[in-house]
């Protein structure tokens, strides 16, 4: 990234700090918390470009770190029932670790989150072949230019109720096989009511498909503090999309009733996980109960030892529950080791393979339209 952009990031953080100080001088109440943002270098890409790390603080006990590489949620500190904070997302301490081996910790996934069967789809009578990077299928945007591997440009912002960063990236026509120049933004904001809001927008100059999501692994007991099997989960999802070979949806939409997938009433994640012999854990797309396009409560998770509660609201029609089935001896933050079931993902999304399942909610974006998606995480303790 050009030196001017680097200086602009640092200057933005300085301006925010000065504005907070000015507010105090002008008579802001000293006991009234104020959101804030700071920016620091986190390392360099292989080509030498500097990667900035932004620290967000809502002034009420919620703190997050996000970085430009992969528009990535690096850490998220939330208080427990006693007011003690812990980082609840899995990740690494250094940029080098993210570049070397990252099972999608915290990243923005795209252009297309999840799977596309046979790494191809038809759009307006044209067949597009995208990168096959999971067997013969496509997953999470591809190999080298997928959104989790590129350098986004971040700009900090702050007001009376939010502290955030807006990341921008242009994905060029033909990258990983997808059509159209796609201009994307991902905005992280901590809110005064102890929420983390993620807003996605995109426009294109050629008809394309798009499905963006965040791939954070959560452990409400604290990242690296054991498994998540005792977490109590509720999903506002009466249905799911069954999958066949390669976890490609069959096209059916089935009820979860009477299956190990039913979280319409609270159950611990581990209560029935042994029944899922094919996937060795949860890796399923759920169909949410609500109006697509308006924010609905998708999930509620409770961790009994800490008392932390996380609620997930989204405008997306689906959510993928994944229980870190593939983690093995991953050395994470603070020299802690992450293993199977050490975290869970709730990836809000359109359904896998929607470009090839025309009865699924459409993922097509055309010139003149704007893609918009919002997911919000709210944190409390009891």
- Residue 37: strand pairing partners: 56
Q: What are the pLDDT digits (tens) for 217-243? A: 999 999 999 999 999 999 999 999 999
The model carries a pTM of 0.91
Determine the distance from the C-alpha atom of residue 194 to the mean position of all C-alpha atoms in its chain, rounded to a whole number. Answer: 17
pLDDT of residue 27: 42
Planar angle of CA 139, 69, 198, nearest 5 degrees: 75
Cis preceding linkage at 214, omega within 30: no
pLDDT digits (tens, 9 = 90+) for 141-194: 999 999 999 999 999 999 999 999 999 999 999 999 999 999 999 999 999 999
Annotate 49-79 with b (16+ C-beta within 10 A) or e (fewer).
ebbbbbbbbbeebbbbbbbbbbbbbbbbbbb
Which parts of the chain sit beneath pLDDT 70?
1-32
Ordered structural domains, the chain, with CATH = 3-381 (2.70.98.10)
For the four alpha carbons of 107, 108, 110 and 113, in that order, the dihedral sign comes to: positive
Rounded distance, CA 206 to CA 251, Å? 27
Please, what sign has the CA dihedral across residues 23, 24, 29, 31? positive
What whole-number distance in Å separates Cα of residue 70 and Cα of residue 169?
Answer: 10
Residues 6+ apart with CB under 8 A from 271: none
pLDDT given at position 276: 97
Q: How much is the pLDDT for 31?
A: 61
Look at residue 18 in the predicted model and tell me its pLDDT. 41
Cα separation, 227 vs 231, whole angstroms: 9
Give the single-character DSSP code of 236. S
Is beta strand 330-331 parallel, antiparallel or unpaired with respect to 283-287?
unpaired
The per-residue pLDDT for 32 is 66
| CA–CA separation, 17 and 36 (whole Å) | 7
Q: 308 and 88 in contact (C-beta within 8 Å)?
A: yes
């Amino acid at each position: 990234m050009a030196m001017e952009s680097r200086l602009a990031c640092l200057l933005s953080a300085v301006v925010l700090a000065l504005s907070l100080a000015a507010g105090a001088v002008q008579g802001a109440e000293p006991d009234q918390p104020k959101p804030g943002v700071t920016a620091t270098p986190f390392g360099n890409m292989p080509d030498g470009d500097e990667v900035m790390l932004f620290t967000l603080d809502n002034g009420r006990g919620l703190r997050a770190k996000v970085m430009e590489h992969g528009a990535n949620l690096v850490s998220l500190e939330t208080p427990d029932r006693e007011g003690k904070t812990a980082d609840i997302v899995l990740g690494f301490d250094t940029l080098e670790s993210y570049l070397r081996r990252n099972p999608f910790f915290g990243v923005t996934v795209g252009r297309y989150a999840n799977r596309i069967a046979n790494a191809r789809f038809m759009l307006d009578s044209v067949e597009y072949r995208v990168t096959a990077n999971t067997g013969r299928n496509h997953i999470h945007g591809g190999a080298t230019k997928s959104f989790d591997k590129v350098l986004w440009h971040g700009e900090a912002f702050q007001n009376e109720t939010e502290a955030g960063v807006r990341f921008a990236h242009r994905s060029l026509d033909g990258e990983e096989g997808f059509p159209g120049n796609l201009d994307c933004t991902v905005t992280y904001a901590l809110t005064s009511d102890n929420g983390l809001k993620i807003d996605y927008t995109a426009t294109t100059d050629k008809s394309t498909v798009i499905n963006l999501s965040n791939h954070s692994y959560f452990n409400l007991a604290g990242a690296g503090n054991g498994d998540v099997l005792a977490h109590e989960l509720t999903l506002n999802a009466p249905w799911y999309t069954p999958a066949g070979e390669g976890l490609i949806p069959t096209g059916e939409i089935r009820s979860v009733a009477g299956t190990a997938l039913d979280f319409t009433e609270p159950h611990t994640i581990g209560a029935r996980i042994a029944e899922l012999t094919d996937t060795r854990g949860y890796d399923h797309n759920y169909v949410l109960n609500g109006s697509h396009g308006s924010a609905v409560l998708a999930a509620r998770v409770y961790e009994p030892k800490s008392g932390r509660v996380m609620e997930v609201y989204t405008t997306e029609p689906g959510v993928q529950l994944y229980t870190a089935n593939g983690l093995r001896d991953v050395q994470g933050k603070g020299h802690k080791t992450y293993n199977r079931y050490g975290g869970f993902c709730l990836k809000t999304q359109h359904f896998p393979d929607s470009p090839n399942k025309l009865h699924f909610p459409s993922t097509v974006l055309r010139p003149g339209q704007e893609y918009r998606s919002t997911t919000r995480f709210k944190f409390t303790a009891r």
